[in-house]
């Protein structure tokens, strides 16, 4: 059977992922309390997609996703009591891209937005359901620079109905609009240099949110720096959050060395991240950095206890590749609160670890992360990991202060 020329360019995609997790004290740091979140469970998801490029100037993408949480006592509702929950087969991606993505293109519809190291905007693929946006994005690219302009609204999970953004849910009064410009250049040969501006608008009964985020990011290339690399990211925010004036900041500093000629390709790096907090609640001013829509899982510890707000995070990282298909990492984190008059925010940027206690010691604790990532076949990947959290003085001063453990095994199949 001979397919029409346009149908011959249809590609079907399949993705399946399963992850078994064990967590103990990760959410309450209290070994005397046998919480629903102190348990083991299995998270699994399936994605089915179609990619179609009938002409050189049109690319069509459609993908559905089904996510489940099994063998857990937690609610099967996403984001309740730490659960990832169930979300029956729903629309994850649906976009039309016009033009040439290597020069000038316009992308409309449900899509992934990702910029830089995803500290502010990313898909958060670690979560079973991940993150997408209903968006319009214009992309322009030349040899040594590119720029994106976009307007969007994040897609929210609804376990019992279609997953809508504020653009497609006419009953939602929040009317979120997240827009931005992102510019990147390699004009300096040894690094990529990024400049960006984001704007977030939301309506709420407590008051409107309307603020801008301005930042820059510089990332060194170890291949052009004799094995050395670095990242510097500086961010400031101003505007309003729920009707209160916002002035906040965050930054990330990182330096590392890569033994490029060693067959194991080891890398040793030191990082420091900080996000401002607010020690004067109720004064009409907000000093807490707003973390936007990040992929917070890799940068601030795999136990997901910290967001890029009201924090200081010092990290020592060691990575090696003992086999061409195996990579291992060992990270050691230390965490402090920037201001104990503000909350300790978990990775989602909203959930608080403890009630605000201004007189507490600001040392939150330390975390050890170990991972093994192996490519078992052309299509099958495995990730094995273990993390331990050493409770700090802040936890002792605000309640139970017990250590926590997290272990997992994940298999990912892609076609």
- Answer yes or no: are the C-beta atoms of 163 and 132 closer than 8 Å: no
List, for residues 226-236, the tens digit of each pLDDT value.
Answer: 999 999 999 99
Which domains does the chain carry?
Answer: 100-414 (2.40.160.100)
Query: Residue 294: helix, strand or coil by DSSP?
Result: coil
Name the nearest CA neighbour of 21 among 342, 387, 291.
387
Q: What is the pLDDT of residues 218-255, one digit of tens each?
A: 999 999 999 999 999 999 999 999 999 999 999 999 99
Averaged pLDDT, 261-274: 98
pLDDT recorded at residue 211: 98
> Tens digit of pLDDT for each residue in 372-413?
999 999 999 999 999 999 999 999 999 999 999 999 999 999
Which of 82-96, 97-111, 305-319, 355-369 shows the lowest per-residue confidence on average (mean pLDDT)? 82-96
Return the DSSP state at 345: B
Largest alpha-carbon pair distance within the chain? 75
What's the whole-number mean pLDDT along residues 206-212? 92
% of the chain exceeding 70 in pLDDT: 98
Structure tokens at 157: 């999970």
Q: In 162-289, at which residue ranges do the beta strands (DSSP E only) sit?
A: 177-185, 191-202, 209-220, 228-241, 244-258, 267-275, 285-286
What digits encode the pLDDT tens for the residues 105-131? 999 999 999 999 999 999 999 999 999
* pLDDT value of position 278: 95
Query: pTM for this one?
Result: 0.94
> Tokens at residue 37, please?
């979140």
Q: Which two tokens stand for residue 53?
A: 């490029």
Output the pLDDT for position 21.
97
For the chain, the average pLDDT equals 94
Residue 362 is inside which H or E element, if any? none
279: confidence class by pLDDT, cuts 50, 70, 90: confident
Which range, of 70-79, 125-134, 315-324, averages the lowest pLDDT? 70-79
- Return the pLDDT at 6: 62
Tokens representing 116 are 């830089």
Q: What is the mean pLDDT of residues 310-335?
A: 98
Strands (DSSP E) contained in 71-176 are 87-100, 104-111, 133-142, 145-154
Task: With CA atoms as reference, report the closest residue to 402 among 28, 36, 34, 81.
Answer: 28
- 298 vs 171, higher pLDDT: 298
Q: β-pairing, 244-258 with 267-275?
A: antiparallel
Q: Two tokens at 297?
A: 């899982």
pLDDT digits (tens, 9 = 90+) for 138-173: 999 999 999 999 999 999 988 778 999 988 887 777
Q: Do the beta carbons of residue 250 and residue 309 sit within 8 Å?
A: yes
Answer whether residue 3 shows pLDDT above 70: no
| Residue found under tokens 């004290």 | 25
Which pLDDT band holds residue 78 (cuts at 50, 70, 90)? confident
């Amino acid at each position: 059977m001979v397919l029409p020329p346009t149908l011959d360019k249809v590609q079907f995609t399949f993705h399946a992922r399963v992850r078994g997790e064990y967590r103990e004290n990760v959410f309450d740091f209290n070994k005397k309390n046998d919480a629903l979140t102190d348990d083991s469970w299995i998270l699994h998801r399936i994605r089915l997609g179609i990619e179609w490029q009938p002409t050189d100037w049109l690319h069509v993408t459609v993908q559905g996703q089904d996510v489940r949480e099994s063998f857990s006592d937690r609610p099967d509702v996403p984001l309740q009591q730490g659960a990832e929950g169930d979300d029956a087969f729903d629309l994850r991606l649906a976009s039309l891209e016009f033009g040439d993505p290597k020069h000038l293109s316009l992308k409309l519809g449900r899509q992934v937005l990702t910029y830089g190291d995803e500290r502010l905007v990313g898909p958060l693929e670690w979560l079973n359901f991940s993150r997408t946006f209903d968006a319009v994005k214009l992309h322009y690219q030349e040899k040594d620079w590119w720029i994106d302009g976009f307007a969007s609204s994040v897609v929210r999970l609804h376990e019992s109905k279609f997953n809508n953004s504020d653009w497609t849910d006419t009953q939602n009064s929040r009317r979120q609009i997240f827009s931005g410009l992102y510019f990147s250049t390699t004009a300096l040969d040894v690094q990529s240099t990024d400049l960006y501006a984001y704007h977030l608008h939301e309506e709420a009964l407590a008051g409107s949110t309307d603020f801008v985020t301005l930042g820059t990011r510089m990332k060194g290339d170890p291949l052009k720096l004799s094995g050395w690399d670095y990242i510097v990211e500086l961010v400031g925010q101003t505007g309003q959050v729920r009707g209160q004036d916002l002035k906040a900041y965050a930054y990330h500093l990182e330096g590392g060395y890569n033994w490029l000629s060693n067959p194991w390709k080891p890398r040793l790096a030191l990082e420091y991240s900080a996000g401002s907090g607010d020690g004067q609640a109720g004064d009409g001013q907000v000093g807490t950095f707003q973390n936007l829509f990040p992929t917070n899982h890799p940068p601030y510890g795999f136990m997901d206890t910290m967001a890029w707000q009201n924090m200081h995070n010092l990290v020592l990282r060691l990575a090696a590749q003992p086999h061409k298909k195996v990579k291992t990492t060992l990270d050691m984190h230390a965490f402090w609160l920037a201001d104990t008059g503000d909350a300790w925010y978990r990775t989602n940027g909203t959930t608080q670890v403890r009630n605000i206690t201004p007189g507490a010691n600001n040392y939150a604790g330390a975390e050890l992360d170990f991972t093994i990532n192996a490519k078992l076949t052309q299509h099958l990947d495995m990730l094995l990991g273990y993390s331990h959290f050493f409770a700090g003085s802040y936890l002792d001063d605000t309640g139970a202060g017990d250590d926590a453990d997290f272990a997992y095994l994940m298999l990912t199949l892609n076609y």
